[in-house]
Amino acid sequence: MPHPIVQEHAEIGLIGLGTMGRNLALNIAENGYRIAVFNRTAQRTDQFVAKAGDLAERLVPSRTIEEFVASIKPPRAIILMVPAGEAVDAQIQVLRPLLDPEDLIIDAGNANYHDTNRRAATALSGGPHFMGIGVSGGEQGARFGPSIMAGGDRSAFARVQPLLEAISAKFENVPCAAWLGEAGAGHLVKTVHNGIEYADMQMIAEVYGIMRDGLKLDNSAVADVFDGWNQGVLQSYLIEISAEVSRTRDPDTGRPMLDVILDRAGQKGTGRWTAIEALMLGTPAGTIEAAVGARGMSARLEERKAGEAVFGSAPRPIAQGLLGPEVLEPALLAGKILCYAQGFDLISAAARQYGWAMPVPEIARVWRAGCIIRSALLNDMASALEEQPGRNLILAPFFADTLRRSEDGLRKTVAMATLHGLPVPALSAALSYFDIMRTGRSTANIIQGQRDFFGAHGFERTDMPGDSFHGPWAIA
C-alpha cells in the first residue's frame, strides 16, 4: 500500500515503550540509528521522548500506528517489545495491512516458541517477514547491552545483524548476538535460558537458606560469602547481585531488605515453559523442574504456615564444623554444571525435533555477557561444547574433572540439609541427575517387569537381542 513521503525516515521502528522497550530504543539511538517509536498509551511516548536528552533527536515518535509505519524507511524492520501472547498477535494484526511483504516484524519479547513457530509459518504465506528474538539482561542490559538470541529466516536476520550486534553486550569484543536457528529457535533458547535462570536462582536460594537457618549467619555475613564466591569459580551476575541484595538495607525501616521482602516468588511463565518442553521432548531437566516447582510452592504461603503449625518448623541449626561455605561453594558449582548440562541437552533435543540449526557452542558464547545467567563458566562451557558436538556437558574432560572435585560438596550439602530439615529441591535433583547419569545398571528393569506384568508391554533382555520379550507371569 502507498505510504506518505517522510522527510527523514527512521532506520528501524519499535513498539512498546515499557521497561525493556524504552531502554532498547535508547540503546539503538545511542548506537547512531534513527528509531521510530510507538506506544499504545501515547502519553508514555511523550514522557519517553521528553526524558531522552540528547538522544531525542534520533527518536521519531508517532501518535498513530499509520504515522509510525510511514516514518520507517522501507523495507521496514519493526521490533515488538510487548507482553507475550495476545498482545503480540494483536500488534501483528494491526501492522499486517500497513506493511509490505518484504518488511520485517521482530518479536523481541519472551514469547512461547510454539507461538513464534506459528507466526513464522503464517509470515511465509505472503509476508511480512517475521523473526522471534530472545533478549536478556533486564532493564540495564536492554539499555547498555543485552544478550540477543535470534531465530527465524536467516536472510531476514542478515538485514538487522549489524544493528543487533551493535546494541548487544560484548564478551572480549565479540558481540553476544547471533542467529541460532529457524522459526522459534531464538525464543526456545531464551526460554531455556530462563529455565536455567530459575534453577541457578533456586540453588542460590537453597544455599542462602542453609546459611540463614542452618548456619545462623546474618545477612551481612551471607553477603560476604557471596562476595567471596564472586571472586572465584562461581563468578557470575546472579552471585554478584545476591551479595548486593543481601547487604542492602530498607531505607524506610533501616532493616535488611531480605528481612522485609515476603518469601513469595513471582513468575511470568518462561521457567514453566522450559519444564513443559523438557517433558514434551523427553529430556531430563529435573533441576529446572524442581526450581519451577519450588517457585510454585513459595506462593503457597498460607498452606506453608498451616503446615508449620501442624508439623513444627522444619529447619534446624547445623552444629558447628559439620558444614560451611567452603562446602557450599563446590555444591553450587556442581549444581550449576549439572543444570546447564540439562539445559543444553534440551536445546539439542529441540534442534533434532524441528531440524533447526541451533549451534549449541554459539548459544553458550551468546550467554557469556549481557544476560542474567552470564558467568565465568560459560566460556569454558562454549569450549567444551565445541570439542565434541552432541556430547553431554558433564562428559567433557574439563567439566568431568570439575564434577569429580565438587561432587563431595554437593553430596554433603544435600545430605546435611536433608538431615536438618532445610529444603534443597534443586540441589538434590541435580545430585540425583548426576547419580543416575553415572549408573550403568539402573533400576528400570523392575519398571519394565511391572509394565509387562500388568500390560504385556514387553521388554528387552540383557542376554539376547530383541525388543519384545514377555515374562512368565500368570494372568489371574
Ligand X SMILES: NC(=O)C1=CN([C@@H]2O[C@H](COP(=O)(O)OP(=O)(O)OC[C@H]3O[C@@H](n4cnc5c(N)ncnc54)[C@H](OP(=O)(O)O)[C@@H]3O)[C@@H](O)[C@H]2O)C=CC1
For residue 144, CA distances in Å to 31, 37, 137, 372 come to: 10, 18, 9, 13
According to the binding rule CB under 6 A, does residue 396 interact with ligand X? no
User: Is the Cα torsion angle 97, 103, 109, 114 positive or negative in sign?
Assistant: positive
Catalytic residue among 197, 206, 277, 329: 197
Q: Which helix (H) or strand (E) holds 59?
A: strand 59-61
Q: How far is the CB of 472 from ligand X (least distance, A)?
A: 56
Which of the stretches 61-69, 84-92, 160-168, 216-224 binds ligand X when contact is defined by CB under 6 A? 84-92
**Using the rule CB under 6 A, which residue among 285, 347, 372, 410 binds ligand 5RP?**
372
The CB-of-194 to ligand X minimum distance in angstroms stands at 8
Per CB under 6 A, contacts with ligand X among 113-142 are: 135-136, 138
> What's the rounded Cα separation, in Å, for the pair 36 and 27?
13
84 binds, among ligand X, ligand 5RP, none (CB under 5 to 8 A by kind): ligand X
Per-residue mark of binding to ligand X, 13-42 (x: CB under 6 A): ---xxxxxx-----------------xxx-
Greatest Cα-to-Cα distance within the chain, rounded to the nearest angstrom: 86
Closest CA to 432 of 400, 410, 401: 410
* Touching ligand X, residues 214-273 (CB under 6 A): 268
Residue range at the interface with ligand 5RP (CB under 6 A); choices 2-10, 212-220, 262-270, 374-382: 262-270
d(CA 73, CA 13) in angstroms, rounded, equals 9
Shortest separation between residue 195's beta carbon and ligand 5RP, angstroms: 10
Cell of residue 183, nine digits:
522459526
Q: Is 112 in the site for ligand 5RP (CB under 6 A)?
A: no
Please, are residues 329 and 234 in contact by the beta-carbon 8 Å criterion?
A: yes
Among residues 133, 105, 283, 114, the alpha carbon closest in space to that of 193 is found at: 133
Phi and psi angles of residue 13, each rounded to the nearest 5 degrees, phi first? -125, 155
* Residue 270 lies near ligand 5RP (rule: CB under 6 A): yes
Of positions 110, 116, 219, 406, contacts ligand 5RP by CB under 6 A: 110
Closest approach of ligand X to the CB of residue 298, in Å = 19
Please confirm, yes or no, whether 190 is among the known catalytic residues. Answer: yes
Backbone angles phi, psi at 177, to 5 degrees: -145, 125
* Residue 139 is a catalytic residue: no
Helical ranges in 153-230 per DSSP H: 154-167, 185-209, 219-229
Q: Answer yes or no: is 21 a known binding residue.
A: yes
Give 96: exposed, middle or buried? Use CB within 10 Å, 0-12, 13-18, 19+. Answer: middle
**Of these partners, ligand 5RP, ligand X, none, which one is at the site of residue 41 (CB under 5 to 8 Å by kind)?**
ligand X
390 conformational bin, left if phi > 0, alpha if psi -120 to 50, beta if neither: left
Which residues from 153-212 bind ligand 5RP, rule CB under 6 A? 194, 197
Q: Cite the active site residues.
A: 190, 197
Binding site residues, ligand X, CB under 6 A: 16-21, 39-41, 44, 81-84, 87, 90-91, 109-110, 135-136, 138, 268
Residues of each annotated binding site for substrate? 110, 136-138, 193-194, 198, 268, 295, 451, 457
